[in-house]
Amino acid sequence: MKAVILLSGGLDSSTVLYQAKADGCECYAISFDYKQRHRRELESARAIAFSAGVKAHQIVNFDLTLWGGSALTDNEMELPIDRNLAEMSQNIPITYVPARNTIFLSFALAYAETLEADRIYIGVNALDYSGYPDCRLDYIQAMQEVFRLGTKQGREGEPINIVTPLIELKKTEIIQLGNKLGVPWEQTWSCYAGGETACGVCDSCRLRLAAFEELGLQDPVPYA
């Protein structure tokens, strides 16, 4: 059973890769260099792909800074910092990259169909998240229909399935799952700030640190 795994190098996508391995999949990882502020995450994606022993790891290059529209693709926009979970989930934040998961899933789908793969794994999460519209169940269900209608495999009755192991898990539960699967947290990267050391105050860092703290665990990633 072949699977393409969207791998950012972060906590969630790394857990998903290890879950795909545990599910018995032959794993093909795909990452994206879209000139994001936090391109440091690609170093972690490479490290995690190597640690997991994937069959292949593709890094797709394109440039979303051409039109910006997000604090992750426009350095003139300031990252939100020191927000609590309630604040993060009130509105769609400026770290939302327009249509990013649709773009990512489209690349992954094209790659998967060339491999005659059965599945695409993505680490979207609809509970402890920053309000992104493309991390929700109704979005994934709609994309699954696109996969069915828009591919040769889908029209021939063998659609590529989108697998979302984390979509209904809290961040603490994701860490617990990753611990069971043996995810090397020290190799992962979650920070949005773009430095060589995690900032500890952006939304992504705050969610991650809060979850480790709630579990009584030490996050092995160094913070500024």
Mean pLDDT over 24-45 rounds to 98
**DSSP characters for 37-96?**
TTTTHHHHHHHHHHHHT-SEEEEEE--GGGT--STTT-TTSPPPBS--HHHHTTS--TTP
Q: What is the mean pLDDT of residues 7-31?
A: 98
Condensed to tens digits (0 to 9), the pLDDT of residues 192-203 reads 998 999 999 999
Reported as a pLDDT band with limits 50, 70 and 90, residue 128 is low
Computed over every residue of the chain, the mean pLDDT equals 95
Task: Please compute the mean of the pLDDT values over residues 29-50 and round it to a whole number.
Answer: 98
pTM of the full predicted structure? 0.96
Q: Report the share of the chain in percent with pLDDT over 90.
A: 88
* Residue extents of the structural domains in the chain: 2-214
**What per-residue confidence (pLDDT) applies to 89?**
67
Looking at per-residue confidence, does 65 or 92 come out higher? 65
pLDDT of residue 83: 84
Residue 88 in this model has a pLDDT that exceeds 80: no
Kindly list the distances between the CA atom of residue 89 and the CA atoms of 70, 122, 131, 132, in Å, as whole numbers in the listed order.
17, 21, 5, 9
Q: What is the pLDDT of residues 130-166, one digit of tens each?
A: 678 999 999 999 999 999 999 999 999 999 999 999 9
**CB-CB contact of 177 with 171 (8 Å):** no
Give the model's pLDDT for residue 129.
Answer: 60
What CATH class is the domain 2-214? alpha beta
Q: Is 22 helix (H, G, I), strand (E, B) or coil?
A: helix
Q: What's the mean pLDDT in 27-50?
A: 98
Place of tokens 């690609």: 42
Is the pLDDT score of 167 beyond 80? yes
Average pLDDT over residues 2-27: 98
